[in-house]
Amino acid sequence: MRIVLENNVFYISFVSTVLIVLLLLIRGILGTKIHKMFFTIAWTFILARLIVPLNLIVSVRWPYCVKNLCKSFATISFARFLWIWCAGACVTAAVFVVRYVLCGRMLREALPIQKVPGIDEEMFTFMGIRVYVSDRISSPITFGILHQKVLLPKYYMNLSREQLKYILIHEKVHIDCHDNLNKFLVIVAVCIHWFNPFAWLMYVCYNQDLELACDEKVIRQVGEVGREAYANVLISLASKDIIGEPVYSGFAGNAIRKRIIMIMGYRHTRKWNYGLYAVASVLFIATFAVPGQIEALSGMSSAGAVSGGAISPGAAASAEPDKKEYKAVKVHRILKDDSSGARTYVTVKTVEGVELNIKILLNKKIAVTTGSVLTSYLPEGESWGAGMDTAYDGVVTIPEAVAFEGGQYPVQKIGSYTFYECKKVRKIRIPDTVKEIEAKSFYECEALKKLRLPPGLEVMGVNPFVGCSSLEEFEMPESHMQYQVKDGVLYTDYGRYLKVFPQGSKQKDVVVDSDVVQIANCAFYGAGVQSVTLPDGLARVKSKSFQNCRQLLRVRASRKTRFVSDAFQGAGQAQIIRYESQ
């Protein structure tokens, strides 16, 4: 499970629309049976999905139709519509700002409330609430976001003590629940997703549900006895002329009929309602969850990935989907799904009918051949095994790509132990898609005599051909500069680094090319050479470079050439003969 930043507003809007429709269906079918607190919680989760640009990459196997829908929206080029979106967002925000400023200017004319005979003064500073009076409103409201105040209409002096108590309790609940802040966030979401009619529908429904949830909390405070009296106050103060400001909480201006029905039909929380709260928690995860295969398609490239809860800048997959068509093979059998959803282990059949293990890296959109042990460690009593039948005698063609769940995953790496102890394999065809060969990939392929390396090879681990006793030479296109083959020997770093001397080479007396400055780890492993002359400019011979060269008698080297202490491990007869540098 990983978290990535999302920069495609259309994709976020699509996912949120599905959730909005789902919640509206629940609201329409079970709205009278479920406490309104559930809906406010659910709306808050969807609101977070609309505003917070994060995606939670999960390993759940999503239905194919869901993944296709996600893919269609994830691949929309948001940059093409950026200016149109910005213009719409700015216009929408300007409308709300103008309404708020005009309303605020009008409400700032309100005066502090005066003491009313027979009414306790504490009621007007109820738990720190600042109460004002305005002749511009016809129903009590709470105005503001950070510094909130309750405004009463000018006829408040005609209200009874009981009516004022219910009004102030109602407004206090709005303040405690930060409902005005929630309404402000809904406006932010509408400004971002102004093009989505379902966002506007959420704006209307969320405001209604906030009022209904507030009424529920008031009833729980005043008890069953005060329910009817509270409803009567609501009816008596209902007005069609209430001020039209979006960032406020009104006592009697929002869906009066629904509120009266809910108040009179209110029942204590049923146990199954708590189950719905658990469902809401699952909904919270679902609001951010996307199929792992969509990650690379949805433009999540701007900031990174999260592993274990910490954002790692630049780590998010940002690659565009590979458009190239490959000769892909189908999955023969699924072996294992990784718990993180980042990879899946499968078996494919090569053109020769040989079963070969493949690791599909879903996030990177590539495939890797792999050994038969699928974990990163060895369980007790088990040993490493090849990714294919070790008794097979013949040719193996590694596929270019694997077709899996509607996508193509090019094979770009040959993993360790893929051909471990496949002693009878005579030829292995490596596709041009391969860019990396890991250490011990071809460990002890004793019958392998010649190997063509791919032209796009970029990385190779420590001698992947250890134990390939019959390997005589490598082949590689001359156009490849980083990896070069001279006289069958493999060099890297543009010919400056002797990477692998084929173990089965017939050369006995070897003169290393003058451009070479370093001999790689295990470079001459098991080779039948007897004499090796190193160039004057060679600076270092690395660990186990001549390991198990049992016929090696002498190595001529400059006095400035440095040998790692175990460079001749298993080559007991070898002697170093120094010569003066030129």
* Main-chain dihedrals φ then ψ at residue 445, nearest 5 degrees: -85, 80
CA R_g for the chain:
36
Phi first, then psi: give them for residue 561, nearest 5 degrees.
-75, 130
Q: Which tokens hold the place of 366? A: 């590539």
Q: Is the pLDDT of residue 269 over 70?
A: no
- Among 114-123, 369-378, 402-411, the least confident range: 114-123
Which of 275-284, 291-300, 436-445, 452-461 is least confident? 291-300
pLDDT on residue 544: 94
pLDDT tier, 321 (very low <50, low <70, confident <90, very high otherwise): very low
Of 425, 402, 424, residue with least CA distance to 412: 402
DSSP string of 234-272, one letter each residue: HHHH--TT----SSEEESS-S-HHHHHHHHHT--PPPHH
Q: Is the pLDDT of residue 339 over 80?
A: no
Give the global pTM. Answer: 0.49
The better pLDDT of the pair 148, 451 is held by 451
What average pLDDT does the segment 119-147 reach? 69
Contact 358, 335 (CB under 8 A): no
For residue 433, name the pLDDT band (cuts at 50, 70, 90).
very high
Q: Are strands 489-492 and 562-563 parallel, antiparallel or unpaired?
A: unpaired
Instruction: Please tell me the predicted confidence (pLDDT) of residue 67.
Output: 60
* pLDDT band, residue 100 (cuts 50/70/90): confident
Nearest to 359 by CA among 324, 329, 335: 335
Query: 173-204: per-residue pLDDT in tens?
Result: 888 888 888 889 999 999 999 999 999 999 98
- Residue 212 in this model has a pLDDT that exceeds 80: yes
Least confident of 106-110, 243-247, 316-320: 316-320
Among the listed residues 97, 85, 171, 186, the one whose alpha carbon sits nearest the alpha carbon of residue 132? 171
pLDDT of 268 over the 60 cut:
no
Range 86-102 average pLDDT: 89
What number is the average pLDDT over the span 467-496? 86
How far, in whole angstroms, is CA 154 from its chain's centroid? 55
DSSP assigned state of 375:
S
Mean per-residue pLDDT, 285-301: 48
The b/e string for 143-168 (b: 16+ C-beta within 10 A; e otherwise) is bbeeebbbbbbeebeebeeebbbbbb
As a whole number of angstroms, the distance between CA 40 and CA 53 comes to: 21
